[in-house]
Amino acid sequence: MTPKNYISLVSKLEQTQDLSNEEFASLLEADSSSFAEELARRARAVREKYYGKDVYIRGLIEFTNYCRNNCYYCGIRRDNGRAQRYRLTHEEILACCAAGYQLGFRTFVLQGGEDAYYTDDRLTELIRAIKKSHPDCAVTLSVGERERDSYEKLFEAGADRYLLRHETADKAHYESLHPAELSHEHRLQCLRDLKAIGYQVGCGMMTGSPGQTTEHLIKDLRLLQELQPEMVGIGPFIPQHDTPLASCQAGTAGLTLKLLSIIRLLLPQVLLPATTALGTIDPQGREKGLLAGANVLMPNLSPVTVRRKYALYDNKICMGEEAAECIRCLSKRVAAAGYHLVKDRGDHPGFKEIFTSS
Ligand code: 5AD
Ligand code: FES
């Protein structure tokens, strides 16, 4: 394909939010830096149409690394006997939120492994306490697969959003990354339940995960079109040394950036983070992510004492920096990219009215 043809595909995607499988494949496989730059430029323009130069921040609290699952790629998998397990106390979590609030955070993301200690009662108590202290903040949960009635209770307790990456939309590929006890159908059912309940929902995939093909990525894009999530979290796969996939190759920043831009054009108003994994694989990854259409950053609010223990993958950045240092560092990085951090809940535009009218 000529450069001109690629550009016309980007225009078509921008105008119709759709392409044929063959056209998506051409974009995904295009190996030209001038094309990648043009794709990023278009995605940036769409992002700026809806969000201007604003970058939303989410305070990530990695509150437990106990996990009953055994995903082949993940460093906190059940069978990793070398992972030092921890669970923050209720008071420690509230202290992270209070410190985050002072720094300007208006969204807290409670992320953890699938930890049986966190029953519905314990989680609802935690959500209520955060909402009571910070009624102007959004609470996002990222605690994996649960049953619908559990998701309903957490929503009633005040949780606003839920992140559950689908990891890959292809069943066989999913099965190659997870043991048989995890089911692709259940993962997708969870996402549909979360949507139906009324959460702002985030799904997403790792880029360059072992065995991933262009066909798989096209299925991922089709799933995004079908589910219409409010948020999409993507980042490169990065091997973790104590997992079965330790010797596999990492995904690349290039493919991740290209997908960020495609997703921005596919779902123009989506909340799209430039992830820590992207910043890990490339020192300028998060800035490049913003310039490719991302509009969210998720700095870590967890106490520095536990940071290293939440080692999903190797060489994760920001391990030693206190939240205040990360915010200072990020403000500079974001400014250098021509954007600015905002003190805002950062809801999806489709949900904004609900909160401003009440
Ligand atoms: N590399 C990159 N991302 C990973 N995740 C888990 N393990 C890895 C890894 N080795 C991602 C998964 C999960 C999210 C919390 O972190 O996509 O959903
Ligand atoms: Fe954490 Fe730069 S963002 S140190």
Instruction: List pLDDT tens digits, range 251-274.
Output: 999 999 999 999 999 999 999 999
Band of pLDDT at residue 356, cut at 50, 70 and 90: low
**Interatomic CA distance for residues 68 and 66, integer angstroms:** 7
Give yes or no for a contact between 224 and 205, defined as CB atoms under 8 angstroms apart: no
What is the arithmetic mean of pLDDT over 309-318?
96
Q: What is the pLDDT of residue 358?
A: 46
Average pLDDT, integer, range 304-311:
95
Task: Give the pLDDT confidence of 280-292 residue by residue, as tens digits.
Answer: 999 999 999 999 9
The structure tokens 């609802």 sit at 124
Distance between Cα 40 and ligand 2 center (Å): 24
Rounded to an integer, what distance in angstroms lies between the CA atom of residue 14 and that of residue 22? 17
Choice from 58, 80, 206 to test ligand 1 binding pocket (greatest atom count within 8 A of CB)? 206
Question: Mean pLDDT over all residues of the chain?
Answer: 96
353: confidence class by pLDDT, cuts 50, 70, 90: low
Measured at the alpha carbon of residue 138, what is the angle toward residues 190 and 201, in degrees to the nearest 5?
25
Read off φ and ψ for residue 41, nearest 5 degrees. Answer: -60, -40
Q: Where does the pLDDT of residue 325 fall: very low under 50, low under 70, confident under 90, or very high at 90 and above?
A: very high
Alpha-carbon distance of 88 to 246, in angstroms, equals 28
| 3-state secondary structure at position 1 | coil
- Cross-strand pairs, 232: 203
> From CA 256, how far away is CA 286, in angstroms rounded?
11
Atom of ligand 2 nearest to the CA of 317: 1
279 CA → ligand 2 middle, Å: 9
User: What tens digit of pLDDT does each residue of 160-196 get?
Assistant: 999 999 999 999 999 999 999 999 999 999 999 999 9
Any ligand 2 atom below 6 A from CB of 326:
yes
Burial of 149 (0-12, 13-18, 19+ CB in 10 A): exposed
Asked if 94 and 58 touch (Cβ cutoff 8 Å), the reply is no
Task: Assess contact for 187 and 205: CB atoms under 8 A.
Answer: no
Amino acid letter for position 330? L
Quote the longest CA-to-CA distance of the chain: 59
Looking at the CA of residue 325, tell me the nearest atom of ligand 2. 4
Residue 322: how many other CB atoms lie within 10 Å: 16
Q: What are the two backbone dihedrals, phi and then psi, of residue 182, each rounded to the nearest 5 degrees? A: -100, 135
> CA 19, CA 298: separation in Å to the nearest integer?
31
Reference 137, options 79, 57, 30; nearest CA is 57
User: What atom of ligand 1 comes closest to residue 239's alpha carbon?
Assistant: 10
> Atom of ligand 1 at shortest distance to CA of 233?
17
pLDDT band at 4 (very low <50, low <70, confident <90, very high): confident
209 C-alpha to ligand 1 centroid (Å): 10
Give residue 291 CA to ligand 1 midpoint distance, Å.
23
Best mutation site among 296, 326, 327, 334 for ligand 2, i.e. most ligand atoms within 8 A of its Cβ? 326
C-alpha distance from residue 135 to each of 56, 68, 138, 193, 352 (Å): 18, 32, 8, 25, 15
What is the pLDDT confidence band of residue 354, given thresholds at 50, 70 and 90? low
Probe target for ligand 1 pocket from 61, 74, 245, 300, with the most ligand atoms within 8 Å of CB: 74
**pLDDT value of residue 157:** 98
Q: What is the pLDDT of residue 297?
A: 98
- Check if 73 has its Cβ closer than 6 Å to any atom of ligand 1: yes
Find the helix packing angle between 90-102 and 120-133, rounded to 10°: 30
In short, whether 248's Cβ falls inside 6 Å of ligand 2 is no
Averaged pLDDT, 219-241:
98
CB 284 within 8 A of CB 252: no
Cα-based angle 131, 134, 140 (whole degrees, multiple of 5): 55
In a 3-state reduction of DSSP, which class is residue 155?
helix
Indicate the helix (H) or strand (E) that contains 39: helix 33-51
Alpha-carbon span 178 to 169, nearest angstrom = 13
- Are the beta carbons of 281 and 266 closer than 8 angstroms? no
Domains and CATH numbers, the chain: 3-356 (3.20.20.70)
Residue 327 to residue 105: CA distance in whole angstroms: 10
In tens, the pLDDT along 32-84 reads 888 999 999 999 999 999 999 999 999 999 999 999 999 999 999 999 999 99
Q: What's the CA-to-centroid distance between 237 and ligand 1, angstroms?
A: 7
| 76 Cα–ligand 1 center, Å | 10
Cα distances (angstroms) measured from residue 133 to each of 93, 99, 127, 130, 337: 12, 12, 10, 5, 34
